[in-house]
Chain A
Amino acid sequence: MPSIACASGKGGTGKTTVATNLARIMAYERDTHLVDCDVEGPNAHHFFTLESTQRSPVHVPVPHIDLSHCDLCGVCSDACAFHAISVLADTALVFPELCHGCGVCAYICPRNAITERPRTIGSVLEATCDGMAFTGGSLNPGEPMPPPIIQAAKKTARGRDYIIIDASPGSTCATVEAVHGTNFCLLVTEPTPFGLSDLRMAVGMCRRLDVPYGVVINRSDLGDGRVEDYCKEEAIPVLGRFPSDRCIADVYARGALIVDHNSAWEDRFRGLLMALDRLLKREVNHG
Chain B
Amino acid sequence: MVEELVILSGKGGTGKTSLAASFAVMGEREWILADCDVDAPNLQYLLEPTIEEQHPFSSSAIARIDKDRCDECGLCRTHCRFDSIDSTFEVDDVGCEGCGLCSYVCPRSAIAMQPRLSGYWFRSQTRGGIMLHAQLGFGEGNSGKLVARVKEEARQIAQASPLPRVLVDGPPGVGCPVIAALSGATAALLVAEPSISALGDLERIAEVCAHFQVPAGICINRFDAQPVYSDHIASLAKRLALPILGRIPYDEQFTWALLEGRTIVEGDTNRAGKAVRALWQETVTTLL
- Interface residue tally on B, bucketed by range: 35 or more
> What mask results when residues 255 to 277 of chain B are scored 1 for a CB within 8 Å of chain A, else 0?
10011010000000000000000
Most buried by B among A10, A16, A193, A253: A253
Q: Is the CB of B255 within 8 A of A223?
A: yes
> What mask results when residues 125 to 148 of chain A are scored 1 for a CB within 8 Å of chain B, else 0?
000000000000001011111100
Contacts of A144 in B (CB 8 A): 144, 175-176, 179
**What are 11 inter-chain pairs, A to B, with CB distance below 8 A?**
A40-B174, A81-B98, A97-B179, A101-B81, A102-B81, A107-B105, A169-B40, A171-B138, A192-B255, A194-B17, A198-B40
Q: Is the CB of B136 within 8 A of A172?
A: yes
Nearest residue, chain A, Cβ from B173: A40
How far, in Å, is B262 (CB) from chain A's closest CB?
A: 11
Q: Is the CB of A172 within 8 A of B139?
A: yes
Is A57 engaged at the interface, CB distance under 8 Å to the other chain? no
Q: Is the CB of B144 within 8 A of A170?
A: no
Cβ-neighbour of A253 out of B10, B100, B195, B201 (below 8 A): B195
Which chain A residues have a beta carbon within 8 Å of chain B's beta carbons? 9-13, 16, 40-43, 46, 79, 81-82, 97, 100-104, 107-108, 139, 141-146, 168-176, 180, 192-194, 197-198, 201, 204-205, 207-209, 222-224, 249-250, 252-255
Bound: A53/B113 CA distance, A: 44
Q: Is the CB of B81 within 8 A of A170?
A: no
Is B278 engaged at the interface, CB distance under 8 Å to the other chain? no
- 7 tightest CB-CB pairs across the interface, nearest first? A12-B13, A11-B12, A102-B99, A204-B138, A40-B173, A144-B176, A43-B197
Most buried by B among A102, A107, A145, A207: A102
Q: Is the CB of B11 within 8 A of A12?
A: yes
Given A141-B207, A204-B139, 13 other A-B contacts at CB below 8 A? A12-B11, A13-B13, A40-B178, A41-B200, A41-B201, A101-B81, A141-B204, A143-B175, A176-B141, A194-B17, A222-B255, A254-B195, A255-B195
Q: Is the interface of A mostly helix, strand, loop or mixed?
A: loop
Q: A172-B139, A209-B94, A253-B195 are in contact. Are A79 and B175 (CB under 8 A)?
A: no
Q: Is the CB of B104 within 8 A of A41?
A: no
Q: A46-B196, A81-B60, A170-B39 are in contact. Are A107 and B12 (CB under 8 A)?
A: no
Contacts of B142 in A (CB 8 A): 173
Q: Is the CB of A139 within 8 A of B174?
A: yes
How far, in Å, is B151 (CB) from chain A's closest CB?
A: 16
Nearest residue, chain A, Cβ from B250: A249
Bound: A194/B136 CA distance, A: 16
Bound: A204/B39 CA distance, A: 12
Cβ-neighbour of A46 out of B94, B140, B197, B228 (below 8 A): B197
Is B73 engaged at the interface, CB distance under 8 Å to the other chain? no
Q: Is the CB of B174 within 8 A of A102?
A: no
Q: A41-B173, A201-B39 are in contact. Are A172 and B140 (CB under 8 A)?
A: yes
Q: Is the CB of B200 within 8 A of A43?
A: yes
Q: Is the CB of B98 within 8 A of A208?
A: no
Nearest residue, chain A, Cβ from B119: A172
Q: A10-B13, A169-B172, A204-B139 are in contact. Are A104 and B101 (CB under 8 A)?
A: yes
Nearest residue, chain B, Cβ from A207: B138
